[in-house]
């Protein structure tokens, strides 16, 4: 079973700053199997990035994903007020078929 | 326009069986690469994937919950149903259904319902 560990747990930043979120897998995995979601309070999650680096439909280009092997990163180049939220990575595997990381909260400093 | 909506009881008693229905529109669950998943989120906690049903009626379950879960579909009604047996207070959560795309990339949830909060309490 692949376990995803996200860090930091909370990231305190100001609007306009760059956010770098980490998702580390417990074993090597294909980058095609790593996705990122954003969740705002009281809302359902939203798909941001799939296959580690591909932006989903309608996602602004300030969001980017990278990584391979066991280390993956979500970068928000310049935080907008609406970007303060919780971010989850998700992986696909064989058993169990899917797992999520525990989330990183990006909060206003 | 893709939409999904969950429905079911807001309150269930311990040991009871939970039945949740996902009504969807804007896509067909018989089209290749289309799937529907159930995901839950306890209050203040992380997302937990539960189950998935695919366009070819293949079904997949969370390893830790597989003995308690059953996912099924009615393609004529555009519905997916999840049952979870032997409910416990630890199962209190918001339950989401989501459209899941499974193409050249790993299954990803691109549209979500608004979620339904299920509380387990006597």
Nearest residue of chain A to residue B106 (CA atoms) = A33
pLDDT tens-digit series, residues B40-74: 999 999 999 999 999 999 999 999 999 999 999 99
Considering only CB atoms, A99 lies closest to which of B37, B49, B108, namely: B49
Beta bridge partners of A49: A36, A55
pLDDT at B43: 97
Please say whether the beta carbons of A35 and A47 come within 8 A. Answer: yes
With CA atoms as reference, report the closest residue to B51 among A97, A69, A60. Answer: A97
Contacting A with CB below 8 Å, chain B residues are: 37, 46-49, 52, 60-64, 96, 98, 104-110, 112-115
Q: Mean pLDDT score of chain B, rounded to an integer? A: 96
What are the phi and psi torsion angles at B7 (to 5°)?
-145, 150
Considering only CB atoms, A51 lies closest to which of B63, B105, B110, namely: B105
CA atoms A107, B45, A41, A21: torsion sign: positive
pLDDT tens-digit series, residues B35-46: 999 999 999 999
Q: Give CA angle at A94 (B37, A20), nearest 5°.
A: 75
Each of the 109 residues of chain A gets a pLDDT tens digit; together they read 789 999 999 999 999 999 999 999 999 999 999 999 999 999 999 999 999 999 999 999 999 999 999 999 999 999 999 999 999 999 987 666 788 999 999 999 9
| Distances, alpha carbon B64 to alpha carbons A20, A95, B14, B33, in Å | 32, 10, 19, 25
pLDDT at B38: 98
């Amino acid at each position: 079973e692949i376990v995803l560990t996200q860090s930091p747990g909370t990231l305190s930043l100001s609007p306009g700053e760059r956010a770098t979120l980490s998702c580390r897998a417990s074993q090597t995995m294909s980058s095609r199997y790593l996705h990122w979601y954003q969740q705002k309070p009281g809302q359902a999650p939203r798909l941001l990035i799939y296959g580690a680096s591909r932006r989903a439909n309608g996602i602004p280009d300030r969001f980017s994903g990278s990584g391979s092997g066991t280390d993956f990163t979500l970068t928000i180049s310049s935080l907008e007020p609406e970007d303060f939220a919780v971010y989850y990575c998700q992986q696909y595997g064989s058993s169990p078929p899917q797992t999520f990381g525990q989330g990183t909260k990006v909060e206003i400093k | 326009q893709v939409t999904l909506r969950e429905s079911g009881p807001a309150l269930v008693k311990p040991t009871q069986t939970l039945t949740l229905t996902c009504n969807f529109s804007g896509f067909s669950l018989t089209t290749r690469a289309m799937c529907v998943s159930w995901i839950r989120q306890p209050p203040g906690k992380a997302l937990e994937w539960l189950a998935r049903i695919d366009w070819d009626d293949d079904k997949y379950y969370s390893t830790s919950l597989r003995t308690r879960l059953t996912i099924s579909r009615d393609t004529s009604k555009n519905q997916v149903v999840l049952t979870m047996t032997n409910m416990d207070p630890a199962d209190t959560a918001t339950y989401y259904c989501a459209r899941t795309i499974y193409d050249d990339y790993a299954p990803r949830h691109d549209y979500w319902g608004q979620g339904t909060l299920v509380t387990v309490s006597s």
